[in-house]
Amino acid sequence: MGDFIKEASNWLTQPTIFSLLSVALIVALVVFRRQLTTIPVIVAVFVGMTAYFVFAWSDPNFNKIITKPDNVPIIILLATVIFFTWLSLRRAVINDERIAKGEPTLEGELAKQKVFVWPDLVYSEFICLVAFTALLLVWSIEIPAPIEEPAATARTPNPSKAPWYFLGLQELLVYFDPWIAGVLLPGFIIAGLCAIPYVDPNPKGNGYYTFNERPFAITFYLVGFVLFWVAFVILGTFLRGPNWSFFGPFEYWDIHKLEPMVNVDLSTYFWVKLLDMPRPLNPWVRELPGIVLVLGYFLVTPALLAKTVFRTKFKEMGVVGYNITMHMLLWFALIPIKMALRWTVSLKYFVGMPEFFFNI
Amino acid sequence: MSKLKKISNSVTKTQLWRSVFRHGYPDTPRNRTLAVLSNVVLHLHPVKVRRSGIRLSYTWCMGGLTFFLFLIETLTGLLLMFYYRPTAELAYQDIFALREHVPLGVMREVHRWAAHLMVITVWLHMYRVFLTGSYKPPREFNWNVGVILLVITLLLSFTGYLLPWDQLAVWAITVGTNMARATPLLGHEGPGAALLSLGGLEFIHAGDDVRFGLLAGRFVGEGALLRFYVLHCVGFPLIAAGLMAVHFWRVRKDGGISGPL
Ligand code: HEM
């Protein structure tokens, strides 16, 4: 039984399955939010997680990674994100039912009352403050901060990992070159966040939890934050070992584990496999199919969607807002697209021009 | 008058007491108002708030906790600065000594764990602000102040990561800053950088690109340590404090914590 759980865990956490499961989980959360946001569900989740940890604790490989002092925050991140996602969806479900019946929302009911900051707010702030001070002190006394060997620029540790909050971006390096994963996408994330209030035309859902009034926005943030940020941080921390190879939670971090690299550029698919001829020497001709594809993706898709699925969105947002939103979304959509193509047809680059450090 | 009352009066009726506690115990509307208005810290709050906005189940207290953790970081960071010397020779040794020899060396632990927590609470704060639609008018501006605060929080954490000067620190920063090499046009391995050349003379190379600017060198060395130290202890905290002042001010000016109207 124990071995079965370990093997199943190792299998379920490999990047493909892990990502697909995360997607499935978010879809399930959105679709079955009414059933999943009950109290027994969250109790069951936390009891289940605790039981799993207790079971896994005795395993030397699992124990080694989980008890690293710097990994404690990741466990806190996991637990709090699960809890607050559940809580916010629960309140959204309740509010949506109330709105449907024409009643005021949970927040709307309380908003009518005004209370003195002293004591109503000051006391709860004070309790939070004391609780957190206590938590920090206990944590600090119990778990010493790590200090490794002195810096030596000649000895590269394996794996070399960025600080944990950037591990999502490091994970993207598997699929993209650094100029996309490390510069372009972070830049777009910041710019995209700044743009949110200006491109969201929906005036509803301001100041209370709801899902039905802003289904697109909420789903977008769940996917972006919970999946592409938090889940990737967890993947990068616990499941990526030496050489950034994948290791299941019960697997030994073997430096010699090598994953075969057999990825193929789109140009090879086009010229060699489809047309059965050698790739042209001129990089521009060689990469023409990829360039056309990428340009088409970014230039034609927004127009196509504006005429079809997003017709109303296009009207609401206006030309500028729509185009900004679409281009951001298309860049982020490139991540799952590239991942899927890597897993299925081992695609390396759509456009591969190492001559100019320009690979997409 | 009872004896007890007399004793208490002899304390609370003095000039000294009254100069510190300028009003009676806040159990009447008048004194509750005064308590908030006459104290510079509490005065961040309005006197009265909508009940919906102060529910833990609504705000999760995450903005408040982020601010609290920032204060903890300032305090513990200040204490750590008394011991820590940012040079390649001494940095590691000083951090090491904190655990073994320095009284209250546990400040390093508090500083590190609170820093990790602060990253988590900022993310959750932003999550809550998004899910309650609190970025919508009139709070667009404050959302943007928040986005910059998020970036500054991450940069604070990132610059601090280098200071222990151990293998973990140096290599995490190496991995992190390696990305800057690939900046389009401005990194020496970035797309387009090769275009910036004139007759075989390259303008962007490993000795002058953005990564070089970040690290004050071609690799993470003493220059980077000093640069990160100054930014971590002075530069970013000042920016963060200034932006937080704006952030809290805007929360008040935008009508307090959001709620349905
Ligand atoms: C150092 C980081 C930050 C601190 C100390 C901070 C602090 C606070 C505090 C204390 C509040 C009052 C309400 C609450 O606690 O939820 C608040 C509200 C707000 N914050 Fe932040 N915040 C930070 C970062 C951010 C970020 C990253 C964002 C979003 C991008 C953001 C956007 C907002 C908005 C829009 C409000 C108004 C919310 C409302 O009225 O419901 N803040 N912040």
DSSP states of A343-355 as a string? HHH-B--SSEEGG
ipTM exceeds 0.85: yes
Please report whether residue A340 resides in a domain: yes
Task: Please give the average per-residue pLDDT across B69-92, as a whole number.
Answer: 95
pLDDT, tens digit (0-9, with 9 covering 90-100), for B99-119: 888 888 899 999 999 999 999
Please report whether residue A151 resides in a domain: no
pLDDT category at B135 given cuts 50, 70, 90 is very high
Report the mean per-residue pLDDT for chain A. Answer: 91
Ligand 1 atom at minimum distance from B53 CA: 41
Q: Nearest CA of chain B to the CA of A38: how many Å?
A: 15
Residue to substitute in B247, B249, B250 for testing ligand 1 pocket (most ligand atoms within 8 angstroms of CB): B247
Residues A270 and A195 reside in one and the same domain: yes
| Smallest CA–CA distance from B192 into chain A, residue | A356
pLDDT, tens digit (0-9, with 9 covering 90-100), for A181-232: 989 999 999 999 999 999 998 999 999 999 999 999 999 999 999 999 999 9
Identify whether the C-beta of residue A211 lies closer than 8 Å to the C-beta of residue A89: yes
| Structural domain of A57 | 1-105+216-253
Task: Please give the average per-residue pLDDT across A294-318, as a whole number.
Answer: 89
Task: Please give the average per-residue pLDDT across A258-282, as a whole number.
Answer: 85
Helix (H, G, I), strand (E, B) or coil at A246: strand
Domain count, chain A: 2
Instruction: Look at residue B228 in the predicted model and tell me its pLDDT.
Output: 96
Expressed in angstroms and rounded, the spacing between residue A253 Cα and the centre of ligand 1 is: 40
Please report whether residue A297 resides in a domain: yes
Of A79-88, A286-295, B182-191, the least confident: B182-191
Please report whether residue A49 resides in a domain: yes
Residues of A with Cβ-Cβ distance to B29 under 8 angstroms: 116
Ligand 1 atom at minimum distance from B240 CA: 1
Protein residue whose Cα sits closest to atom 28 of ligand 1: B146
Which run of H or of E encompasses B197?
Answer: strand B197-198
Considering only residues A316 and B145, tell me which one the structure prediction assigns the higher pLDDT.
Answer: B145
Please report whether residue A348 resides in a domain: yes
Which tokens go with B250? 């805007």
Residues A190 and A267 reside in one and the same domain: yes
Identify whether the C-beta of residue B90 lies closer than 8 Å to the C-beta of residue B226: no
Residue B197 has pLDDT above 80, yes or no: no
Residues A75 and A169 reside in one and the same domain: no
Protein residue whose Cα sits closest to atom 25 of ligand 1: B146
Helix (H, G, I), strand (E, B) or coil at B150: helix
Residue B209 has pLDDT above 70, yes or no: yes
Distance, in Å, from the CA atom of B153 to the CA atom of A68, rounded to the nearest integer, reads: 23
Residue A355 has pLDDT above 90, yes or no: no
Residues A221 and A184 reside in one and the same domain: no
Helix (H, G, I), strand (E, B) or coil at B198: strand
Pocket lining: B58 vs ligand 1, CB cutoff 6 Å: no
Q: What angle do CA B245, B248, B254 make, to 5 degrees?
A: 130
pLDDT category at B24 given cuts 50, 70, 90 is confident
Residue spans of alpha helices (H) in chain A: 2-12, 15-31, 33-36, 39-57, 60-66, 72-100, 106-111, 117-142, 167-172, 178, 185-199, 215-221, 232-238, 266-267, 283-286, 288-307, 311-345
Residues A239 and A273 reside in one and the same domain: no
Please report whether residue A140 resides in a domain: no
Expressed in angstroms and rounded, the spacing between residue B86 Cα and the centre of ligand 1 is: 33
Q: How far is CA A261 from CA A174, A258, A343, A346, in A?
A: 11, 9, 12, 9
**Of A156, A162, A193, Cβ closest to residue B147:** A193
Instruction: Look at residue A142 in the predicted model and tell me its pLDDT.
Output: 93
Of A68-82, A253-267, B238-252, the least confident: A253-267
**Of A73, A113, A148, Cβ closest to residue B51:** A113
Of A49-53, A159-163, A310-314, B116-120, the least confident: A310-314
Distance, in Å, from the CA atom of A5 to the CA atom of A250, rounded to the nearest integer, reads: 10
**Of B49, B56, B65, Cβ closest to residue A114:** B49
Residues A175 and A31 reside in one and the same domain: no
> Rounded to an integer, what is the distance from CA A39 to the centroid of its chain?
25
Residues A309 and A197 reside in one and the same domain: yes
Distance, in Å, from the CA atom of A160 to the CA atom of A243, rounded to the nearest integer, reads: 8
Which tokens go with B136? 């919508």
Through-space distance between the first and last CA atoms of chain A, rounded to whole angstroms: 45
Q: Nearest CA of chain B to the CA of A111: how many Å?
A: 5
Residues A59 and A94 reside in one and the same domain: yes
Residues A249 and A274 reside in one and the same domain: no
pLDDT, tens digit (0-9, with 9 covering 90-100), for B213-234: 888 888 888 999 999 999 999 9
Which tokens go with A311? 């017709």
Would the CA dihedral through B142, B148, B153, B156 be positive or negative?
A: negative
Instruction: Look at residue B1 in the predicted model and tell me its pLDDT.
Output: 65
Residue A72 has pLDDT above 70, yes or no: yes
Residue of A81, A147, A167, A174 for testing the chain B interface, max B β-carbons within 10 Å: A147
Task: Please give the average per-residue pLDDT across A38-59, as a whole number.
Answer: 94
Top mean-pLDDT range of A249-258, B35-44, B81-90, B205-214: B81-90
Instruction: Look at residue B69 in the predicted model and tell me its pLDDT.
Output: 97
Please report whether residue A152 resides in a domain: no
Residue to substitute in B251, B252, B253, B254 for testing ligand 1 pocket (most ligand atoms within 8 angstroms of CB): B251
Identify whether the C-beta of residue A22 lies closer than 8 Å to the C-beta of residue A224: no
Residues A94 and A197 reside in one and the same domain: no
Of A59-63, A190-194, A302-306, B98-102, the least confident: B98-102
Contact state of A357 with B189 under an 8 Å Cβ cutoff: yes
Residue B239 has pLDDT above 80, yes or no: yes
Residues A244 and A267 reside in one and the same domain: no
Instruction: Look at residue A277 in the predicted model and tell me its pLDDT.
Output: 87
Please report whether residue A14 resides in a domain: yes
Domains and CATH numbers, chain B: 1-43 (no CATH), 58-253 (1.20.810.10)
pLDDT category at A258 given cuts 50, 70, 90 is confident
Pocket lining: B80 vs ligand 1, CB cutoff 6 Å: no
Identify whether the C-beta of residue A19 lies closer than 8 Å to the C-beta of residue A337: no
Residue A31 has pLDDT above 70, yes or no: yes
Residues A226 and A180 reside in one and the same domain: no
